[in-house]
Amino acid sequence: MLTQAKKEFIEFMMSADVLKFGDFVTKSGRNTPYFVNTGNYRTGAQIAKLSKFYAALIKETTGGDFDCMFGPAYKGIPLAAATAAALYNEYGIDKPYFFNRKEEKDHGEGGSLVGYKPADGDRVIIIEDVITAGTAVRETIPILTGAAKVTIPDMFISVNRCEIGQTPGKTAVMEVCDEFGISVHAIVTVEDIYEYLKADGGYGKVLGNMERYMAQYCAL
């Protein structure tokens, strides 16, 4: 269902040039009529607004019942930091965050993790931008479980593309849930974006391309 909050988020992504329509190729090699690039958030106002959407979804989903949040390098790093600030400013929920380096540091404090050091028994939530094929998630899990005996109950993303993963009939999000026991929560889905365009009435060609794409690659 396209709620007012989802509509506002879609319009926010479009205004920031993060959600684009045209002819693109995803990381998984699929041609897609829309593309989400959170790397285009580039101002203080944008990251502040974005983090409020994440914080609202986390508060609604968890009530603050988790121990720390992790932002995978690279796009997850500013997302986790800004969301930690928004959770505190908006709801008084003060949680530590941490992130990883792509390459381990062999001097100073060393290691590949920066920020909070996870401890055995911690419940970690992951803050990420999108899931297309689930590749980034599979790279992230060993980093977290290698740091401590943690559990990862939830992951929060901006857009669920609802695309089929490696298993026929299952989306990458479903696979992540089945494989790792992680519940993935998105601010909006591809269906929400489609419904928004349909209600707007000015996206005839894009709608047709979206319909074909969703029929071919998505499990809804």
pLDDT in tens, 29-54: 888 999 998 889 999 999 999 999 99
Structure letter (DSSP) for residue 30: -
**105 catalytically annotated:** yes
- SS3 state at 133: coil
Domain count, the chain: 1
Q: Any alpha helices (H) in 121-188, and if so which ranges?
A: 135-147, 172-180
Q: 128 versus 112: which is more confidently predicted?
A: 128
Catalytic-labelled residue, pool 107, 117, 170, 198: 107
- Is 86 buried (19+), middle (13-18) or exposed (0-12) by CB count in 10 A? buried
Q: 146 versus 108: which is more confidently predicted?
A: 146
- CATH number for the domain that contains residue 36: 3.40.50.2020
Average of per-residue pLDDT across 87-99: 98
Is residue 17 pLDDT above 50, yes or no? yes
Q: Which one-letter amino acid corresponds to residue 166?
A: Q
Structure letter (DSSP) for residue 150: -
Catalytic-labelled residue, pool 7, 20, 75, 105: 105
What is the maximal distance between C-alpha atoms in the chain? 57
The CA distance from 149 to 213, in Å, is 40
pTM of the prediction?
0.91
Residue 95's domain comprises 4-104+111-217
b/e 170-194 (16+ beta carbons within 10 angstroms → b): ebbbbbbeeebebbbbbbbbbbbbb
